[in-house]
Amino acid sequence: MFSLEGMTALVTGASGGIGSSIARSLASQGARLALSGSNAAKLRAFREELNDEYGHDHVEITCDLSNTTQVEELVPATVDTLGKIDILVNNAGVTRDNLAMRMKDEEWDAVMKINLEAAFRLMRASARPMMKARFGRIVTITSVVGATGNPGQMNYAAAKAGLVGMTKAFAQEVASRGITANCVAPGFIRTAMTDVLPDAQKDALNARIPMGRMGEGTDIGAAVAYLASKEAGYVTGQTLHVNGGMAMLS
């Protein structure tokens, strides 16, 4: 079940903590991947690792999501390289945290450009080849803070909430062509960044989670693999919250 054999996927932010878990999950189910990110060396090393572990001759495509020209070229480059695009995973994102009264215009603009606008451009670009194939899966990584808010993250919360609304609109536009569009909203996920937090801070975070622990990247990867599968063909315009019960949203 949930086999992705014969399918291709573009994953942005693929060499990061959650992005690499998503890529591993898709590759383990048989998908061939175009791994995208801004760090060419990290991407190349990760691609070689995936090729050794799962085969399928995965490729890497360097892209700076703050550069509109590079973003517009990413989906065509994926189709040229892999022959088609079945799955788009909008995972890449940045934070520029600050309290609202101190937030600089450039902090707001950077988060909107990378987290929201780039996802829109990639969804728009993928629509044509997916509509022609009458099949497609778009999975966008949002965040629990897009639903709950978070002090110091007005820009990030706004962008993540925007992704949910954008996905719902897009899902309605392309549903008749066999294309689904959904979101996965992680809560607190254990990554290299959270590993270095002081134990007291980790304990405080875990106390907010009914399961008493942070999630793992594999939890997000599994959710994405399901939504990318043919079995999820009747699920669209939805947000799957993966947060250990921290925010029980419907």
Pairing state between β 136-141 and 179-186: parallel
d(CA 134, CA 173): 13
d(CA 162, CA 116): 7
d(CA 214, CA 72): 35
Residue 248 carries which DSSP code? -
Report residue 72 as tokens. Answer: 């517009």
Q: Which of 54, 156, 226, 234 is catalytic?
A: 156
Report residue 114 as tokens. Answer: 């990378």
The answer to whether residue 234 is catalytic is no
Exposure letters 41-56 (e unless 16+ CB within 10 A, then b): ebbeebbeebeeebeb
At 9, phi and psi to the nearest 5? -145, 140
Residue 207, Cα to own-chain centre: how many angstroms?
A: 26
- The helix/strand/coil state of 108 is helix
Residue with token string 């600050």:
98
d(CA 222, CA 29): 10
Residues serving a catalytic function are 156
